[in-house]
Amino acid sequence: MVLLLGILQFIMISIICIYELKRKSVSVFLWAVLLVMFGIMHMFSILLNTYEYSVDTMNEASLFVILFCALYLITRYLTQRKNDIMTEEKIELEDNEKEKMKKFMNILFYLLILIVFIRIFILSRQAGGLINTSWTTMRETVGGYFSFSQIFGPIFFTCSTCLILAIKLKDRKILILSSAIILLEVIISRNRIEILPIICAIIYAYILKNKKITVKQIMLLGCIGLMSIYLIYALRVFRHSGSIQNFFATYDLKSFNQKVGEYLEDDSGELGLRKNMYFFIENNNNFEDFEKGHTYIRMALVLVPTSWSFGLKPNDFAITMGKAVLPTVEGFSIHPTLFGDVYANFGFVGFFMGIFWAFFVLILDKLIIKSNKLLRLPISLICGIIYIIQARGSVYNAFSWLVYCIIILTLIHYTYRIIYNTISKGEN
């Protein structure tokens, strides 16, 4: 039974991936990451008999995912509309629209340069020099509400959407320079999620370009996925090495690859996040503040700071889950994949949340399709980034970034339109 359920959950997630890929829905990022982080890894741990928890726990995890996926798929099928499918035609541009997109792309690009160099300046000053920066330095600069460190993430992801516009407009200069700026930021800050704009932009542009799904395309996307996993783990090794100076003193190319291989083999990092879900199931969610839906209450109150909510907005549920896993470490947070977060919030009956997530995806699909043509690709890229973060289990933080990114993008676009129309009237 454990083997049957383990394989079935993998098949269910795979079916959803193919379904969303056919529709060219950006939610394919959510399900592709869930397929890798949970579907494949869960199935392999059962096939290879390497799981550390009881058979009952593994069966419950499989059954939870199967039911969640079934309700998601049924809801998506019943609510699907042909007009909600993203196509290349829906982002085709007239000559005057191309000129507008190019100017809008340039604004995002210059803002990206500005925000990244302010960040690098702050981190360098905090660490006493560029080569002394580390993950610890980045963590030490975290401030309160509306501090630069808090607003950096949404602004950075919003401005990084110039990448996908550069791909659309075939502007190699902006594509190369913006990618270099993002890579520089990742190297200095060690924040791995900041590499996502590059990965998502390349993959989604490829998905939109190809009208039919072929085995060759799936294999290519799979190869890109494997390279992305290696990159994420390579950045993890880089983060753990401390400062840049210490990294070069510790590793050469061979030892670096060996360390990345060790991280991959020991099933830690992103590929081991599902184990937190097993831990919750094994202990029947018998932890403080579990099964109260705190993640979703926080999402409903996303625009209200926790300290201003008069106790209505719960504390960060990632820290609540972290306390359950490591109660002796203050402020420790964990992410148990989206499935694990749902289970921790609602218990086994949380599989009904498959319906919620189907409508969540539907709403974002509609938002993309019905938005201004200049904003369709930027919003798609933002959603792709957010879906990946949510898939790993950081559901609320990703959602808050989504809300603020769309607000920031809208404000930038609105300001751009005012300036553009003013200039156009002046020329006439």
Token representation of residue 142: 């975290």
Structure tokens at 220: 């290519």
Nearest one of 428, 424, 426 to 96, comparing CA atoms: 424
Task: Give pTM, 2 decimals.
Answer: 0.93
Q: Is the pLDDT of residue 225 over 90?
A: no
Give the mean pLDDT of 336-351. 96
161 has a pLDDT exceeding 70: yes
Q: In this model, does residue 271 exceed pLDDT 90? A: no
Residues 6 or more apart whose Cβ sits within 8 Å of residue 71: 351, 352, 354, 355, 358
DSSP string, 46-95: HHTT---S-HHHHHHHHHHHHHHHHHHHHHHHHH--GGGS--GGGG---H
Distance (Å, whole) CA 160 – CA 52: 41
Render pLDDT for 234-268 as a digit per residue (tens, 0 to 9): 888 888 787 777 887 788 778 888 888 877 776 66
Structure tokens at 17: 């991936």
Average pLDDT over residues 92-104: 82
Q: In the prediction, which pLDDT does 113 show?
A: 95
Q: How confident is the model at residue 138 (pLDDT cuts 50, 70, 90)?
A: low
**pLDDT, tens digit, 9 for 90 and up, residues 273-309:** 899 999 999 999 999 999 999 999 999 999 888 777 7
Contact between 113 and 181 (Cβ < 8 Å): yes
Say how far apart CA 54 and CA 34 lie, in whole Å.
22
Residue 176 has which token pair?
């190369």
Cα–Cα distances (Å) from 191 to 36, 133, 194, in that order, read 21, 12, 6
Q: What pLDDT was estimated at residue 218?
A: 76
Half-sphere CA count of 155, side-chain side, radius 13 A: 18
What's residue 403's pLDDT?
95
Judged by average pLDDT, the poorest of 49-63, 193-207, 242-256, 370-384 is 242-256
Region 356-365 average pLDDT: 96
Region of residue 369 (phi > 0: left; psi between -120 and 50: alpha; otherwise: beta):
alpha
